Structure 1
Amino acid sequence: MKQLTQQGQQIEHDSFAQIDIEIDRDHGGHDFNNLEWPVIRRVIHTSGDFEFATLFSFSEEAAQKGIDAIRNGANIVTDVNMIVTGLSDRRMATFGNQAHCLISEPKVIDAAIASGKTRAIEAAHQAATAGLLDGAIIGIGNAPTALFEFIRMAQAGEINPALIIGLPVGFVRADESKQALMQSGLEHISCHGRKGGSTLVVAALHALMVEAAK
């Protein structure tokens, strides 16, 4: 689960060590537990932004639920193909996880045109119909409309995901969708404010995969 080359491993090790030093020295430390901190550290490593240590929110069992889901071979269902592309095939192969994004499927596009709703919403419906969501990890980095719909479906008992990683970035209902997730009672990893994005979802998933393999 490490970098493939010795130099790559050393760079990653040194980067994480520097983040550990700076979070204590320059940012007053952190209050995350030993499963949550690897997620935050990798997010900081990906973004270069220590503010995420003050913005991120975990439900009480989120990190453990995510690790357990990965070990159980859970599907990973995303709102954009960028997340699928960013995930390591080698890491997913460890437990047989598969990543799915249906937003470009012809059925999704046709349904969105007919309904007038976003493709992200219709992709969520198609994922449910395809049976991809029970026990799954849902990763949202771009589409607040998808996050709102996944929350609605989970609260209505239509789907039963293991974990929702809700980190949509943007200016139109992005923060509101994350606030809704944090107040939903669902197992979640999210953050306050407008910041987020697909790269952070990838970082969070990779951190969970690394912990799952320990």
Structure 2
Amino acid sequence: MEFEHVKPMDIEKRSMEIIGQELAEKGITLPADKAHIIKRVIHTTADFEYADTLTFSEHAVEKAKEALRAGATIVTDTKMAWSGINKRTLENLHGKACNFISDEDVAEAARQHGFTRSAASMDKAASLPGPLIFAIGNAPTALIRLYELIEEGKLAPALIIGVPVGFVNVVQAKELIMETDVPYIIARGRKGGSNVAAAICNALLYDLDSSRGMKKS
């Protein structure tokens, strides 16, 4: 068995080259403005199905970048997604990442209303100032609650990243978000995860980070 000899700092670059080669072999051409996002998700998951299932509303990438340049807050439904976001790059854009899943007031609200904590944390996030990007990788209940808040006129997100993974209400929750006028990036079907949500956030961030050599990977 032969191994490629790749310097540690070049592993990501080489991975992206392999992804590009395999996409070409499959006859898949990615839209130029979305390619870096789709490739980063494939890089995170080693799953080429995302080339077909990642769905973008019109101008979603452009609008997400505008929000990030304006110092957007990224709200996640899990600590794992929050942990995976590159905070330094986000802070360089004067933004921040938040997760309220462990907050006592969120736990109490969940008990009182019969919500999941993920859903209750969306209510808390709705009061945050400035542009909001929601990165949902685990809880379809969070997407459903976001839909309700949007319909009630209580929330107008700059972007919803809807990529929860699972079997119960996952597909339906994603379809609900696609019915709104809010910019979205959705992984259709059952696949997704907190790592996918973070990967999409990072792809957007890296594309705005002029100091990062791989910003278009």
With the length of structure 1 as denominator, give the TM-score of the two structures.
0.91
- 3-state SS of 2:126 partner: helix
Q: Does 2:118 align with 1:106? A: no
Whole-angstrom CA distance in 2 between matches of 1:31 and 1:40: 8
Task: Please tell me the residue identity of whatever aligns with 1:143.
Answer: A
Q: How much identity, in percent, do the aligned residues show?
A: 37
Select 1:204's aligned residue among 194, 200, 207.
200
- 3-state SS of 1:21 partner: helix
**Structure 1 residues 23-49: Cα deviation after superposition (integer angstroms, max 9, x where no partner):** 011x221342x2211000000000000
Q: Does 2:131 align with 1:135? A: yes
Task: Please tell me the residue identity of whatever aligns with 1:191.
Answer: A
Select 2:183's aligned residue among 164, 184, 187.
187
Whole-angstrom CA distance in 1 between matches of 2:63 and 2:155: 16
Task: Please tell me the residue identity of whatever aligns with 2:134.
Answer: I
Aligned to 1:37: 35
Question: How far is 1:94 from its partner?
Answer: 1.7
Stretch of structure 1 that moved more, 199-208 or 120-129: 120-129
Whole-angstrom CA distance in 2 between matches of 1:116 and 1:153: 16
C-alpha contact 2:156 2:182 (8 A) present in aligned 1: no
Aligned to 2:47: 49
Aligned to 1:122: 120
Whole-angstrom CA distance in 2 between matches of 1:145 and 1:30: 34
Question: How far is 1:93 from its partner?
Answer: 2.1
Whole-angstrom CA distance in 1 between matches of 2:150 and 2:208: 25
Aligned to 1:172: 168
Task: Name structure 1 gaps, 5 residues minimum.
Answer: 1-5
Task: Name structure 2 gaps, 5 residues minimum.
Answer: 1-5, 211-217
C-alpha contact 1:57 1:182 (8 A) present in aligned 2: no
C-alpha contact 2:122 2:146 (8 A) present in aligned 1: yes
Whole-angstrom CA distance in 2 between matches of 1:64 and 1:8: 32
Whole-angstrom CA distance in 2 between matches of 1:135 and 1:89: 17
Q: Does 2:157 align with 1:158? A: no
Aligned to 1:59: 57
Whole-angstrom CA distance in 2 between matches of 1:8 and 1:210: 19
C-alpha contact 1:68 1:212 (8 A) present in aligned 2: no
With the length of structure 2 as denominator, give the TM-score of the two structures.
0.89
